[in-house]
Amino acid sequence: MPNFTIQDFLKKKKEGKKITLITAYDYPFARIVDEAGIDAVLVGDSLGMVVQGLENTLPVTMDEMLYHTKMVARAVRSAMVIGDMPFMSYQTSISDAVKNAGRFLKEAGAAAVKLEGGAEIAEHIRALIKSDIPVMAHIGLTPQSIHRMGGYKVQGKTDEAAKKLIEEAHIIEDAGAFSLLLEAIPLGLAEKITGELSIPTIGIGAGPHCDGQILVLHDVIGLFERFVPKFVKQYANMKEEALKAIILYREEIEKGIFPSDEHSFK
């Protein structure tokens, strides 16, 4: 099956079909995600928290993002791979944005990049599009702005904040982004933005009316315990499964059950 493309994003919106996304950060999980028929995989800078054990996403570097994106790109057969631009890889200048975004496509095998921000990154988006780098934008709760926002809080709750997000959504569409990720905003606001834009919206904590949905893989499969946001639905508890297996393995070694003849050479 050919890889999902930015044209497929638009086609699905037009046809009223939901777009499915999830994050992945390494080869084995990217294989599973791809096999599950997910449309696009985001190699999110959330890897700082769910893989590296960091407090937030700010310390994640370009080299780390490229390292993980390469593993994911190597694994997928049909999903589209989107690389998440880490903090300070694009905010510093438009030329940094182009250079660093280009590395995701040239060195790591991504087909697009994601950037957090609204009007302040419109010129960055334009420059990336001019360089043939497709862009997904990300507004609402933007984790790289955690210090400005004062924590991971729902955004767009007042009329004024909602109006600003609607304006930013239009600015991003005009700048040429192929889709817009909406994080942690009221469902009615996400519905309004989705209805007004011709590019697809992808929601995370933005209700059911977005054109597509994304969650962090480790939240979906129960591998991240530090906190579970309200918008997360856990579909499995892999921490429990892995713990059970590893305890059993330890116990069998201690009791001399493993390795048995079956797992030994004669």
Residues that bind ligand KIV (CB under 6 A): 23, 42, 44-46, 84, 181, 183, 204, 214, 216
Contact assessment for residue 46 and residue 57, using Cβ atoms and an 8 Å cutoff: yes
Q: Which is nearer to ligand KIV, 34 or 219 (CB)?
A: 219
Q: Which is nearer to ligand KIV, 197 or 215 (CB)?
A: 215
Contact assessment for residue 72 and residue 30, using Cβ atoms and an 8 Å cutoff: yes
Nearest distance, CB of residue 231 and ligand KIV, angstroms? 10
Which H or E run includes 48?
A: helix 47-50
Nearest distance, CB of residue 265 and ligand KIV, angstroms? 44
Nearest distance, CB of residue 224 and ligand KIV, angstroms? 11
Nearest distance, CB of residue 44 and ligand KIV, angstroms? 2
Q: Which is nearer to ligand KIV, 84 or 211 (CB)?
A: 84
Nearest distance, CB of residue 174 and ligand KIV, angstroms? 22
- Active-site residues: which are they? 183
Inter-helix orientation angle 122-130/159-175, to 10°: 20
Q: Which is nearer to ligand KIV, 75 or 144 (CB)?
A: 144
Per-residue DSSP letters for 251-264? HHHHTT-SS-GGGS
Contact assessment for residue 62 and residue 21, using Cβ atoms and an 8 Å cutoff: no
d(CA 109, CA 128): 16
3-state secondary structure (DSSP) of residue 189 = helix
Q: Which is nearer to ligand KIV, 21 or 254 (CB)?
A: 21
Q: State which residue has the least CB distance to ligand KIV.
A: 44
d(CA 68, CA 165): 31
Q: Which is nearer to ligand KIV, 133 or 213 (CB)?
A: 213
d(CA 240, CA 4): 33
b/e 150-161 (16+ beta carbons within 10 angstroms → b):
eeeebbbeeeeb
d(CA 205, CA 141): 9
Nearest distance, CB of residue 205 and ligand KIV, angstroms? 9
Which H or E run includes 164?
A: helix 159-175
d(CA 225, CA 221): 11
d(CA 69, CA 24): 9
